């Protein structure tokens, strides 16, 4: 097994390769959704270069304040939310994806805006390193965005569902809870194995005070997952097979 530093370098390289492959799915004139996290950040960097070089003219909306700041700094034209706004393509990372392209997202705390943009997109393309593809969801703790007042009751309800909940803390200031861009709390639920993601999603949706959960079901149309140096493409229930490059959108 690789030592941790080399393993994380390798995963970072895989993220960069997946991001570079995703750039080839972007067409001139597209309206894009920009994801959040380290893999999405690689994509935004490459997109910014393509915009600066005049290779691509696009407009975009970001799924977090962090991604928005990065895109603004790189000169990517940004669109505010408005009625009727739809995205041709949203490119985002994931914490876990299974062979049906069901996802766990929200490790970076942006699950609410990520789900809003994914739902408003014609095409959600996931980019990921090889560690993210799993046979069954649940090893990665499932994030919830929770209204602060509701926290105690949400913790009780999630514990009853069999996913021991842990309130996420601010990395810079561990005494404080982590907050989403909306000012809500984040709770990570340790289910370990999620045998029926659809049933769990329904159960979580009915808990008052849960603003959103990190299960993304039926939203991803394709995923670019790098294994070593090879970028693979997976579609729900199909693949992964080596990605061939251009014109992957149906």
Ligand X SMILES: O=C(CO)[C@H](O)[C@H](O)COP(=O)(O)O
Q: How far apart are CA 97 and CA 120, in angstroms?
A: 20
For residues 30-51, b (16+ Cβ closer than 10 Å) or e, as one string? bbbbbbbbebbbbbbebbbebb
- When asked if residue 141 is in the footprint of ligand X (CB under 6 A), the reply is no
Piece of 45-53, 100-108, 182-190, 197-205 that binds ligand X (CB under 6 A): 100-108
Alpha carbons within 13 A on the beta-carbon side of 64: 24
Near ligand X in 36-55, by CB under 6 A: 36-40
Q: Is 188 annotated as a binding residue?
A: no
Q: Is 15 annotated as a binding residue?
A: no
Q: Is 38 annotated as a binding residue?
A: yes
Q: How far apart are CA 115 and CA 87, in angstroms?
A: 13
**Helix/strand/coil for 148:** helix
- When asked if residue 67 is in the footprint of ligand X (CB under 6 A), the reply is no
Please say which residue, 153 or 179, places its beta carbon nearer to ligand X.
Answer: 179
**What are the strands, taking DSSP E only, across the chain?**
31-34, 59-62, 89-92, 96-97, 103-104, 124-129, 142-146, 165-167, 185-189, 210-213, 215-216, 220-227, 230-235, 238-242
Smallest gap, in angstroms, from Cβ of residue 79 to ligand X? 20
Radius of gyration of the chain (CA): 18
Smallest gap, in angstroms, from Cβ of residue 29 to ligand X? 25
- When asked if residue 12 is in the footprint of ligand X (CB under 6 A), the reply is no
Please say which residue, 141 or 163, places its beta carbon nearer to ligand X.
Answer: 141
Is position 114 annotated as part of the catalytic site?
Answer: yes
- When asked if residue 33 is in the footprint of ligand X (CB under 6 A), the reply is no
Q: How far apart are CA 81 and CA 249, in angstroms?
A: 25
Alpha carbons within 13 A on the beta-carbon side of 131: 13
- When asked if residue 227 is in the footprint of ligand X (CB under 6 A), the reply is no
H helices present in 138-235, as ranges: 151-160, 197-205
Smallest gap, in angstroms, from Cβ of residue 196 to ligand X? 22
Inter-residue contact 74 to 18 (CB < 8 Å)? no
Q: Is 39 annotated as a binding residue?
A: yes
Residue 244 has which token pair?
């061939």
Member of 33, 48, 107, 165 binding ligand X (CB under 6 A): 107
- When asked if residue 163 is in the footprint of ligand X (CB under 6 A), the reply is no
- When asked if residue 212 is in the footprint of ligand X (CB under 6 A), the reply is no
Piece of 65-73, 105-113, 144-152, 241-249 that binds ligand X (CB under 6 A): 105-113
The residue from 96, 114, 145, 212 that is catalytic is 114
User: What residues have CB less than 8 Å from 250, skipping those under 6 apart?
Assistant: none
- When asked if residue 94 is in the footprint of ligand X (CB under 6 A), the reply is yes
- When asked if residue 117 is in the footprint of ligand X (CB under 6 A), the reply is no
For the annotated binding site for substrate, the residues are 36-39, 92-95, 105-108, 132
Report, as residue numbers or ranges, the catalytic residues.
Answer: 114
Chain residues that interact with ligand X, rule: CB under 6 A:
35-40, 92-95, 105-111, 114
């Amino acid at each position: 097994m690789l030592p941790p530093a080399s393993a994380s370098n390798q995963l970072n390289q895989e993220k960069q390769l997946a991001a570079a492959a995703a750039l080839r799915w972007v067409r001139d004139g597209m309206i894009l959704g920009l994801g959040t996290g380290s893999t999405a950040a690689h994509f935004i960097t490459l997109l910014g270069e393509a915009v600066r070089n005049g290779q691509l003219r696009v407009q975009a909306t970001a799924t977090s304040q962090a991604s928005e700041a990065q895109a603004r700094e790189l000169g990517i034209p940004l669109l505010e939310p408005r009625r009727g706004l739809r995205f041709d393509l949203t490119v985002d990372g994931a914490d876990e994806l299974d062979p049906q392209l069901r996802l766990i997202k929200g490790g970076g705390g942006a699950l609410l805006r990520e789900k809003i943009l994914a739902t408003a997109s014609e095409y959600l393309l996931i980019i990921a390193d090889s560690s993210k593809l799993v046979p069954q969801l649940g090893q990665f703790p499932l994030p919830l965005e929770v209204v602060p007042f509701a926290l105690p009751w949400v913790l009780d309800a999630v514990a009853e569902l069999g996913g021991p909940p842990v309130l996420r803390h601010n990395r810079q200031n561990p005494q404080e809870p982590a907050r989403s861009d909306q000012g809500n709390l984040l709770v990570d639920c340790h289910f370990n194995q999620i045998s029926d993601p659809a049933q769990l999603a329904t159960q979580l949706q009915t808990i008052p005070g849960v603003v959103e959960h990190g299960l993304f079901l039926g939203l991803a149309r394709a995923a670019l997952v790098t294994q070593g140096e090879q970028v693979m493409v997976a579609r729900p229930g199909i693949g992964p097979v080596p990605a061939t490059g251009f014109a992957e959108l149906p």
